[in-house]
A = this chain, B = another copy of it.
Amino acid sequence: MSTISVLLVDDHTVVRSGLKALLGTQADIAVVGEAASGEEALEAAQEHQPAVVLMDLAMGAGMDGIEAIKQLRQRTPHQAIIVFTTYDSDADIVRAVDAGAMGYLLKDAAPEEIFAAVRGAVQGKSVMSAPVASRLFQQLRHPDEILTPREAELLSLLTQGLSNRDLGKRLFISEATVKTHLAHIYAKLGVETRAAAIATAIRREGMR
């Protein structure tokens, strides 16, 4: 069995250090590089040509993880990308998979789970944490609860605390249209008021 080269991307030094220590215990896995931002990740992926990229989604300022994934897929499509993050929000999962992520792990994952994901990734296998899988499953069972792109956009602005009028101005649509979208969003989220929609969106959809 040949060695699997891994690139770590996380803005937390502690997390990178921890992953390095854990992965270092495995004979068939070698960390060949680290990056603390999306920009650094692109460079490092080019330079070290890792087989697997372990990447956090939230990375402070600059390019976020999703964007980094997209660009990596374009530039070095042979590298498998595994998301390694704290949150399991629906929106993040879908966007990461859309962008081309091979796996989705949560930071509270057991070391064995991480090892398995890295080994699986090079064989083209998707590995994800149980909570993540169950969320995806949930979405498959209730496809009518998936927001349309426009609705998601509106919901995102809604969580900024904007009024219907402001939403209309921002999206260049009438207040009437805003209300229509909102009614659909409420139905899909299973709430009755904008207050509850915001609470649900921020907590469940991870719109922070």
> Which of A's residues lie within 8 Å of B, judged by CB?
11-22, 60, 86, 107-111, 114, 158-163, 191, 193-200, 202-203, 208
Contact = CB atoms under 8 A, between A and B. Distances in A.
Given A14-B114, A17-B21, A160-B196, 10 more contacts: A13-B111, A14-B15, A14-B19, A15-B15, A17-B19, A21-B21, A86-B86, A161-B199, A198-B198, A198-B199
A11 B106 CA distance: 12
**Top 8 A-B pairs, shortest CB-CB distance:** A18-B18, A161-B196, A17-B18, A14-B18, A21-B21, A161-B195, A161-B199, A17-B21
Nearest to A22: B17
A116 B94 CA distance: 40
- Count chain B CB atoms within 10 A of each CB in A20, A109, A202 and give the residue with the most: A202
- Count chain B CB atoms within 10 A of each CB in A20, A22, A108, A208 and give the residue with the most: A108
A199 B15 contact: no
Contacts of A162: 195
A7 B158 CA distance: 43
18 contacts: A13-B22, A13-B111, A14-B18, A15-B18, A17-B19, A17-B111, A18-B21, A21-B21, A60-B108, A86-B86, A160-B196, A161-B191, A161-B197, A161-B198, A162-B195, A163-B193, A202-B202, A202-B203
Contact of A203 (B20, B22, B60, B208): B208
A15 B86 CA distance: 11
A170 to B, nearest CB: 14
Given A159-B199, A199-B202, A14 B191 contact: no
B11 A108 contact: yes
A18 B26 CA distance: 16
B193 A161 contact: yes
